[in-house]
Amino acid sequence: MPNERPSSEEQDLITGSGFRFDTQYTQLPSVFYRLGDPSHAPQPKVVVVNDSLAQELGLRLESLASETKAALFSGQILPNGSIPFSQAYAGHQFGGFTMLGDGRAHVLGEHLTPTGRRVDIQLKGSGRTPYSRGGDGRATLGPMLREYVISEAMAALNVPTTRSLAVVTTGARVLRDQPLPGAILTRVAASHIRIGTFEFAAALDEPKHLRQLLNHAVDRHYPELARASSPALALWDVVAKRQAALVAAWMRVGFVHGVMNTDNVTLSGETIDYGPCAFIDSYAAATVFSSIDEGGRYAFGNQPWIARWNLARFAETLLPLIDDSRSRAVAIAEERLAQFQTWMNEAWTEMMRDKLGLPGQREDDRSLATDLLELMEETSADYTNTFRALSAAAVLPPELERARGWEAWRARWDARCERARGDEPGAAARDRMRHANPAIIPRNYLVEEALDAAVESADLGPFQRLVAAVQTPYEEQPDLAPFQAPPPDSFRNYQTFCGT
Ligand code: AMP
Ligand code: MG
């Protein structure tokens, strides 16, 4: 259904709200996207708008009435210069290759911020597209609020991520296992180019297209690589380094992405797709939250190996651009993958040095970290609170302190940090540790409570309090203490669901 024409007054207000579109993606060959407008929303309503992000983006939304914002963030009124489109891509999902595309998303365009950053503004849940396959193109309120709070928490935790600008309800009911309120999230991303976009290009069997995508991606994210002797290899290297840094950052804060399919791996190095993700409470490397991840493919401790697997798929797409001889290209790619392993190990170990406040670098730092993790796993220690306690000279989980091996580990740690037995970390180490070890993460049980209140009782209070609490994850504030509590015992075996 075509969108209602906005009043010229509304359009003028939106024109004055600061959107500056300059879209380059649609200069790619037309196989890479399809133009198309967001669907009709019968009664759009604002649930949340991210005012501080809007400000960063140079958007002036204050002068807009709530109904106008709802019309804007549901795609009923398009800002000047927006020509919406959906992107084509492919991807390996749980290991199997599929042709995909935005089945429920429309990119409004690439917006230029006041500092000259270029970001995609995308609506998610905005209706069917040519890539919807059997899907309804819709999203529901709970999962969109979930993406909002977790992505904003990740940003505050200093983990590279797409951002959330707004959530609106559409006024339509969306049928899942029961009818649920339809909703649309406005996502802001450095871009939506993914490993899956390259897999799509490689599957086209038209070498020109792959080369065009390479040039586009380099130009958008890493323009300095255009002059490299092999821009394809240089791009692979930088994407691999960003993945190593990203996965290390996830593991620093206890994040399990849950659906590390190649269509969910951005070239920018931002976390994308907050579907079945969740944060670990008690430490266990094998932790899986997603109900469909039966084999534990995307378990917490498996994330570095899955990143490598995904980067192997990325390398495969680039082979024709790496060398004319396929066997030579494969040999080069294999050598690069081995290199990734080193980068990943280094990123992980350095991250653990931050968490433990270890000065310099020593050969056995890795085993110091893994031995602590083993003790934590044995005693089901809370991941977040244990590291925070180590950095804040606070109370450790008693099970951990009683564990056989704890005293010996503690002595090794003290010796490694060159302080007397039992001394607390010095000021500099403590400061470093406090910036690596959050006090507040969006705990799964608090996220669920907040979403239940919002969806079932239309009470946004708990959601707003949670969003506020996760903005300052490294500060200790007495009134935020409830957000630091581990889950109640009744909240074990937490499960998350995909495709919601
Ligand atoms: P995701 O698990 O969110 O990464 O989604 C995988 C693919 O399924 C993407 O191409 C989505 O656009 C598509 N998809 C997910 N939900 C829907 C839906 N309700 N309708 C149409 N496509 C969908
Ligand atoms: Mg996805």
Per DSSP, the residues of 185-246 read EEEEES---BHHHHHHHHHTT-HHHHHHHHHHHHHHH-GGGGGSS-HHHHHHHHHHHHHHHH
Rounded to the nearest angstrom, the distance between the alpha carbon of 102 and the centre of ligand 1 is 7
Residues of the chain where predicted confidence (pLDDT) is lower than 70: 1-6, 499-500
The answer, yes or no, to whether any atom of ligand 1 lies below 6 A from the CB of 273, is yes
Minimum CA distance residue for ligand 1 atom 22: 103
Residue 263 falls in the annotated catalytic set: yes
Q: Which residues, 6+ apart, have CB-to-CB distance to 400 below 8 Å?
A: 375, 376, 379, 381, 386, 406
- Residue 139 CA: nearest ligand 1 atom is 19
What tokens appear for 55 in the block?
């400000």
296 lines ligand 1 (CB under 6 A): no
Say if ligand 1 is within 6 A of residue 498 CB. Answer: yes
Does ligand 1 lie within 6 Å of residue 103's CB atom? Answer: yes
Q: For residue 86, what are the CA distances in angstroms to 83, 186, 211?
A: 10, 14, 21
Question: Of 102, 237, 263, 382, which one is the catalytic site residue?
Answer: 263
Q: How far apart are CA 435 and CA 157, in angstroms?
A: 9
CA of 408 to the centre of ligand 2 (A): 45
Provide the whole-model pTM. Answer: 0.97
pLDDT at 5 (0 to 100): 57
Q: Is 499 in the pocket of ligand 1 (CB under 6 A)?
A: yes
Phi, psi for residue 112 in degrees, rounded to 5: -100, 125
Distance CA 139, CA 127 (A): 8
- Quote the pLDDT of residue 1: 42
Amino acid symbol at 278? A
Q: Which ligand minimizes its atom distance to the CA of 180? A: 1
Distance 86 CA to ligand 1 centre (A): 12
- The minimum-distance atom of ligand 1 relative to the CA of 101 is 10
pLDDT at 3: 52
What 3-state class would DSSP assign to 466? helix
Q: How many residues does the chain have?
A: 500
